[in-house]
């Protein structure tokens, strides 16, 4: 076991590159979590073969491609005993669903050590910090991500807000779907840009919005 090891898990490669370039965490070990858990189906056993199969299909990649992009950077976390984990994520829905997934996995693994959640703004500047325990998040993940049910109590508050946005964003009367409906004659490329600009609290990217617009316009 490596003593006093801290692993910093960052929301994706872009944040990883930025922290590397700016020397923000200096010599600390950083790994990116390259996923978009707010998009597509998942299963209860996180990072299992079933999970890998499902998420590969969601992202339209082969299993080995998914493993290379998403799982390979996490190998230190999988293989070694770590006594401190720091999560660095935005406050938006996209990031909070990734946070929930990681906390649920740590809960499934019965991780007992310290977890710090650092929330950052769109320029990667820290805005708030939370000290957490990996307790109750596996149940929360199952309720939210699989059964699409709202849990009774969720902490911290940004995760609660992210869950609420996640559970509502694909409903017919959500602000996203109403916006797509209102702009039905706007070319998809233009509409995607407008949605990224106007709905920053969701944190969705062009691919997710393209899929939403495509599905709405095919089914209307």
By C-alpha distance, which of 205, 115, 191, 113 is closest to 156? Answer: 115
The domains of the chain are located at: 6-150, 169-219
If one compares 163 and 28, the residue with the highest pLDDT of the two is: 163
Per-residue pLDDT tens digits for 30-89: 999 999 999 899 999 999 999 999 999 999 999 999 999 999 999 988 887 788 999 999
The pLDDT > 70 percentage for the chain reads: 98
Whether the pLDDT of residue 4 is over 70: the answer is no
């Amino acid at each position: 076991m490596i003593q006093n090891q801290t692993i910093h898990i960052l929301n994706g490669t872009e944040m990883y590159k930025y922290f590397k370039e700016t020397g923000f965490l200096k010599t600390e070990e950083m790994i990116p979590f390259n996923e978009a858990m707010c998009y597509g189906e998942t299963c209860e056993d996180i990072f299992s073969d079933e999970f890998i199969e499902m998420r590969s299909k969601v992202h339209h990649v082969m299993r080995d491609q998914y493993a290379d992009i998403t799982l390979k950077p996490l190998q230190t976390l999988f293989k070694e005993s770590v006594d401190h984990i720091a999560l660095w994520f935005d406050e938006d829905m996209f990031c909070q669903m990734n946070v929930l997934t990681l906390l649920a996995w740590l809960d499934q693994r019965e991780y007992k050590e310290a977890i710090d959640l650092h929330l950052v703004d769109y320029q990667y500047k820290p805005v708030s910090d939370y000290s957490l325990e990996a307790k109750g998040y596996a149940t929360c993940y199952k309720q939210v991500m699989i059964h699409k049910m709202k849990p009774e109590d969720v902490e911290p508050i940004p995760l609660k807000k992210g869950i609420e946005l996640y559970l509502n964003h694909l409903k017919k009367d959500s602000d996203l779907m109403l916006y797509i409906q209102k702009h039905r004659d706007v070319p998809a490329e233009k509409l995607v840009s407008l949605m990224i600009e106007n709905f920053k609290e969701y944190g969705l990217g062009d691919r997710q919005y393209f899929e939403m617009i495509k599905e709405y316009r095919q089914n209307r």
